[in-house]
A and B are shown apart, each in its own frame.
Chain A
Amino acid sequence: MNSQFMRITSRFMIASVLSLGLPIQSAYAGIVGTDKVAAAAHTQSERARIGSYLEREDVSKALQAEGIDADAAKARVAAMTDEEVLKVAGKLDQVPAGGDVVGVLLTVFIILLVTDILGFTSVFPFTHSAR
């Protein structure tokens, strides 16, 4: 048995166990959630939803690895949609994070100074684009 098969199987097993008490399900018995309306239109399966549930755990752990405490990470993941979770799952360290980055290497400094003046970039407040 190859490892890929084992991975899929174990994932499926985890999913089946988890699906017994899926919290994403509509909080009200008898009411089908709004997300299912669009899902039905796209014939999105139960499996995709369970996949997203697992990915939520992954994203929450990844946030914790970047310095967020467990409760805050949980609340932050809860505000994301299934689609958004799938977009960043497994690559939280690669997607852009906007902020102010410190420390500019000298060589890069010079390149950016030139490109700034040409108007391709806007790193330094003291440059005035030639354009």
Chain B
Amino acid sequence: MLLNAGSVMASPQELTEQVYLPGREGSLQIEMLAAARRNGLIAYELAPELNDLLIEVAAGSPVLVLQNLALSWYPRWHYAVVIGYDLERAEIILRSGLERRQVMPLTTFEHTWKRSGYWGMLAMPPGQMPRTATESAYVASAVALEQAGHAQGAAAAYETALLRWPTNLTARIGLGNAAYATHDLQRAENAYRQATLDHPESAIAFNNLAQTLADQQRYAEALIAAHQAVSLGGAEQASARDTLKQIEIQLHASKLLPEADTSPPTKIGN
């Protein structure tokens, strides 16, 4: 239901295979998040606030919530999807188990929801952003989608993030990486170059730009970027050195092979 709202067609059987744990007779929260990503959607965990939940529902996004229908010392964990509410009547409308429309007093819902730590999540197509999204949480959810193997979806999510937070470094490099993964070198280069302009201190931006340029046999430009990456240092300096070395090797090979140049290889740069 939640995935269908995110315009993904998935059968209950397929989903059961992705989330059900026979030994626990239920599903874990992290597996609900992971399943949304496996189906190409952004899995966004909401802030534990009733207000945020209501904002998302009002915006038309069904929210998956975890409830403890019983008591803290005798838990009965249950997932339901919030599909509407009526503040005047103090009611919340859920799709719960096999019930298509369960109307519950808002106070009862709050009691049952509180016992799960107010846990709720959205499953959204990557081009959309939750109303209550924060910069770091949304970008992190896009990174998670990329790591789950959905480069194209992740690229759309990074684009969405950049519309709102144009200088976010993770989103900019993520966009480059997602484009690189789909062999769109031009788009990757543009993203990395923008990252070096917005964040001239980012060694990763220069390193990835260098690699992308080298892949297009533009070795002279690649070497400049690679040297910049190495000189910036940081946690990824080893990778930057490696990239530089590989580019130098490729450059020599490209010079030696086609023209059968016999002169000793010259070192470019310092």
Interface of A toward B, CB cutoff 8 Å: 26-41, 43, 45, 63, 65-68, 72, 75-76, 78-81, 84, 87-88, 92-93, 95-102, 108, 111-112, 115, 119-123, 129, 131
Contacts and interface: CB of A to CB of B under 8 A. Distances in A.
A131 B148 CA distance: 45
A102 B76 CA distance: 10
A35 B235 CA distance: 13
A107 to B, nearest CB: 10
B88 interface: no
A99 B243 CA distance: 49
Given A76-B31, A76-B34, A96-B68, A32 B239 contact: yes
A35 B140 CA distance: 9
B147 A98 contact: no
Given A97-B27, A98-B27, A122 B104 contact: yes
Interface residues of B, number: 71
B83 interface: no
B38 interface: yes
Given A99-B77, A100-B78, A40 B243 contact: no
Contact of A30 (B68, B147, B174, B242): B242
Interface string B209-234: 01110100000000000000000001
Nearest to B116: A96
**DSSP majority for the B interface?**
helix
B257 interface: no
Interface of B: 17-18, 20-31, 33-35, 37-38, 66-71, 74-79, 97, 104-105, 107-109, 111-112, 116, 139-140, 143-144, 146-149, 169-170, 173-174, 177-178, 180-181, 202, 204, 207-208, 210-212, 214, 234-236, 239, 242-243, 246
**DSSP majority for the A interface?**
loop
B21 A63 contact: yes
Given A88-B30, A119-B108, A31 B180 contact: yes
B105 A131 contact: yes
Given A37-B169, A43-B235, A79-B37, A30 B246 contact: yes
The 4 A-B pairs with the shortest beta carbon distances in the complex, nearest first, are A99-B26, A66-B23, A97-B26, A67-B22
